[in-house]
Amino acid sequence: MAADPTELLALAVDIATAAGELALRRRREGVEVAATKSSIVDVVTAADRDVEAYIRVRLAQARPGDAFLGEESDASAGTSGLTWVVDPIDGTVNYLYDIPRWAVSIAVVEGDDPATWRALAGCVVNPSLGEVFAASIGGGASLGARTISASEPATLGTSLVATGFGYDAAIRVAQAEAAVRVIGSVRDLRRAGAAALDLCDVGAGRLDAYWERGLAPWDFAAGALIAAEAGAVVSADDVRDGRRLVTAAAPAIAPEFAALLRRAGV
C-alpha cells in the first residue's frame, strides 16, 4: 500500500481526534488507576488501554499491512515496512489528576530504531484545549490551521526550557540534581508532565528548548517530527544505561543548550 505522508497524516489526525474525544468522555465520567507498571507511581488507567485498543482497530482497518508499537499493548509486525507508534494518553498522571495537559500521540515511521527511523507523519492532539499539532516529513508543522515555527531566543540565558522526570525515585533524584545544574543558566524551567506536548510547544515557540532522558519511543515519535518540521533542532540518539535522551531546541541556542546538558551530566 503506497505511503503518501500527507495521506498518512490525514489518517493519523482523524483517528487521534476521535480517540481524544473518547479519552475526554472517559475523563468526565471519572478515572481510576487500573494497574501500576514500572513503579508504584507509573500508573495505567482503563482509559489508556481502551483508547489504544480503539486506535489499533482503526489503524488495522485502514492499513492492515502496517506494524504497530503502542505503550499499552503488545507490538505486532507488518509487511509494509511502516510502523504506527502510539501513545494513547501521554501525560497519564495529568489525566488521572484531571490536569488538562495530556495528549493522544500517533506517528508512522519507516525503520525500527528510534534513533534512526524516518518518521513520515505525526499528530499530537490535546483534547482538553481542542489543539491538534500535526506534521508530515518535508511538509512543515501546524497547530490547527496555523503553520508553526520554533522560537528565536536571543540567548540561552533568556530561554524558557522544559524537562521531565521518570517513574523511578532514584532516577528522579538524579534528574533533579542535573536540573539544578541547568536552571541557573536559563530563564526558567517548566515541568508540565507530557513529553509529546513539550516537544510540540518547542515547535510552536511556546518553549525555547526541552530535554528528557528515559523516554519511550511512543512518548516522542510524533512530537519529535512536529518540532523538527517546525525548524527546531531535535535529537534522540544518545542512549545511556538503556535510557534515551530526547532534546529539542530553537536553532539559535541549540549548540549552547547541548553543551549545557553535557556539563550538567544529563
Is position 195 an interface residue for ligand LIP (rule: CB under 6 A)?
yes
What b-and-e string marks burial along 116-137, b requiring 16 or more CB atoms within 10 Å of the CB?
Answer: ebebbbbbbbbbbeebbbbbbb
The Cα 249–Cα 234 span in angstroms is 7
The Cα 30–Cα 79 span in angstroms is 39
What sections of 30-133 are H helices per DSSP?
46-62, 92-96
Question: What contacts 136, CB < 8 A, 6 or more positions away?
Answer: 5, 6, 8, 9, 120, 121, 122, 229
Residues 211-240, mask of contacts with ligand LIP (x by CB under 6 A): -x------x---------------------
Tell me how far, at minimum, the Cβ of 247 lies from ligand LIP, in Å. 13
Whose cell is 490536569? That residue is 99
What cell does 14 get? Answer: 482523524
The residue whose Cβ lies closest to ligand LIP is 164
The Cα 84–Cα 149 span in angstroms is 25
Tell me how far, at minimum, the Cβ of 154 lies from ligand LIP, in Å. 27
Cα distance from N-terminal residue to C-terminal residue, the chain: 42
Is position 59 an interface residue for ligand LIP (rule: CB under 6 A)?
no
Is position 201 an interface residue for ligand LIP (rule: CB under 6 A)?
no
Judged by CB under 6 A, the stretch of 53-61, 62-70, 84-92, 126-134 that binds ligand LIP is: 84-92
Tell me how far, at minimum, the Cβ of 82 lies from ligand LIP, in Å. 22
Closer of 84 and 165 to ligand LIP (Cβ): 165
Number of shown-chain residues binding ligand LIP (CB under 6 A): 14
Tell me how far, at minimum, the Cβ of 179 lies from ligand LIP, in Å. 12
> What residues numbered 86-105 form the site for ligand LIP, per CB under 6 A?
87, 90-92
The Cα 21–Cα 38 span in angstroms is 28
Is position 167 an interface residue for ligand LIP (rule: CB under 6 A)?
yes
Is position 117 an interface residue for ligand LIP (rule: CB under 6 A)?
no
> Hey, which bits of 118-221 come out as E strands?
118-126, 131-136, 141-143, 146-147, 160-163, 188-190, 209-213
Residues 127-166, mask of contacts with ligand LIP (x by CB under 6 A): -------------------------------------xxx
> What residues numbered 6-25 form the site for ligand LIP, per CB under 6 A?
none
Find out whether 49 and 92 touch, Cβ atoms under 8 Å.
no
Residues forming the site for ligand LIP (CB under 6 A): 71, 87, 90-92, 164-167, 193-195, 212, 219
